[in-house]
Amino acid sequence: MKREYPSAPVVAVGAVVCHQGKVLLVRRGHEPAMGRWVIPGGGVELGETVRDAVRREIREECGIEISVANEPAAVVDRIDRDTAGRVRYHYVIIDYLADYQSGTLTPGSDVTAAQWVDPADLRAYDLTPISIDLVRMALERCRKRQYNQ
């Protein structure tokens, strides 16, 4: 199915990845949202589970391995319309919380940059309100887990 002007919504995944009190963000290299900082992720491939898609997307976009929470943190509609009002992009994004496991952070071909971001610096990245909420939820979860260890 084509992603631009699709005949149905595209299922996608994202991961809010925590590591040492920071969160992973990427700058998109393609539309939609080219050039914007976002939570990393992408489309689910045919025959792939959503959790496998999360791991694959983070590996491809960022070069790292993650552990993914069992349950989704949020489900978000991303609908972009053109100037005539037609749906140009429609993604249903299933976002998960995740933890860094291994690897060296290296931007893949779908992104122009990837970096660990301190929560105090989030405003500089012009994230959507839902992304900021997800990042805060993930960081709180990471802090609680570290406290209980």
Kindly report, residue by residue over 89-117, the tens digit of the pLDDT.
Answer: 999 999 999 999 999 999 998 899 999 99
Task: Indicate the helix (H) or strand (E) that contains 16.
Answer: strand 10-19
For the chain, domains (ranges, CATH) are 10-140 (3.90.79.10)
pTM score above 0.85: yes
Least confident segment among 24-28, 73-77, 84-88, 127-131: 127-131
d(CA 146, CA 28): 31
β-strand partners of 11: 92
Residue type, 45: E
The mean pLDDT of 18-44, rounded to a whole number, is 91
Higher per-residue confidence, 66 vs 73: 66
4 with 87: CB under 8 angstroms?
A: no
Condensed to tens digits (0 to 9), the pLDDT of residues 119-149 reads 889 889 988 888 888 888 888 877 776 544 4
Q: List the end-to-end C-alpha distance of the chain, in Å, as a whole number.
A: 45
